[in-house]
Amino acid sequence: MNAAAAPRPIELDGRRLSIEAVQDIAHCRRPVRLSRAALKRVQASADFLARELKRGEPIYGVTTGFGSNADRLLENTRRRARTDGEQLSTVAELQRNLIISHAVCVGTPLPPPMVRAMLAIRINTLLQGHSGVRVVTLERLLELLRLDLVPVVPEKGSVGASGDLAPLSHLALAVIGEGEVYEAGVRVPAREALARNGLEPLTLSFKEGLALNNGTGQMLASAILALERFSLLSRQADINAALALEAFCGRSAAFDERVHALRPHPGQIAAAANIRRLVAGSSLVDIPYHRVPRFAPWSAKAWAGADGDKRTFDVRWDYIPPGERGARARWYQRNLPFRGGKKVQPQDAYSLRCAPQVHGAVKDTLTRVREIVEIELNSVTDNPIVFAQVEEDQDTVVSAGNFHGMPIALALTQLKCAIPVLASISERRLAKLVDPATNDGLPPFLIGNEDGTDSGHMIVQYTAAALVNELATKAHPATVYSVPTSANAEDHVSMGTTEARHVLEMLGDLEKVLALELLVATQALEFRQQILAASYSLASLGTQALRSKLRNLSQVTREESVTLAEDVKRLQADLRKLEDTHPARPGATVLELVRRRGITFMAHDRLLAPDIEAIVALVESGEVVAAVESVLGAPLL
Is 365:415 a contact under the CB 8 Å cutoff? yes
Question: How far apart are alpha carbons 303 and 514 in whole angstroms?
Answer: 37
Q: Are 231 and 510 spatial neighbours (Cβ–Cβ below 8 Å)?
A: no
> By the 8 A CB rule, do 335 and 565 touch?
no
Check: CB of residue 159 under 8 Å from CB of residue 208. no
112, 149 contact by CB (below 8 A): no
Cβ contacts of 196 within 8 Å, gap of 6 or more: 183
Give the residue among 62, 313, 69 at the shortest CA–CA distance from 205.
62
Q: Would you say the C-alpha torsion 58, 62, 64, 67 has a positive or negative sign?
A: positive
DSSP 65: -
Contact, 157 vs 167, CB < 8 A?
yes
For residue 377, give the amino acid letter.
L
Closest CA to 247 of 523, 456, 595, 448: 523
496/216 Cα distance (integer angstroms): 9
DSSP 283: S
3-state secondary structure of 584: coil
CB neighbours of residue 573 within 10 Å: 11
**Spatial distance between the Cα atoms of 585 and 445, rounded to a whole number of angstroms:** 26
- CA dihedral angle for residue 461, residue 462, residue 468, residue 474, rounded to 10 degrees: -160
Strand ranges inside 42-132, DSSP E: 79-81, 87-89, 106-109
Instruction: Region of 148 please: left (phi>0), alpha (psi -120 to 50) or beta.
Output: left
Helix 406-434 vs helix 496-539: crossing angle, to nearest 10: 20
* 307 contact partners, CB below 8 Å, separation of at least 6: 537
Task: Choose the catalytic residue: 60, 319, 332, 462.
Answer: 60
89: helix, coil or strand?
A: strand
The answer to whether 60 is a known catalytic residue is yes
Task: Tell me whether strands 87-89 and 32-34 are parallel, antiparallel or unpaired.
Answer: unpaired
For residues 630 and 624, give the distance between their C-alpha atoms in angstroms, rounded to a whole number.
10
DSSP code per residue over 3-15? GGGSPPPEEE-SS
Return the active site residues: 60
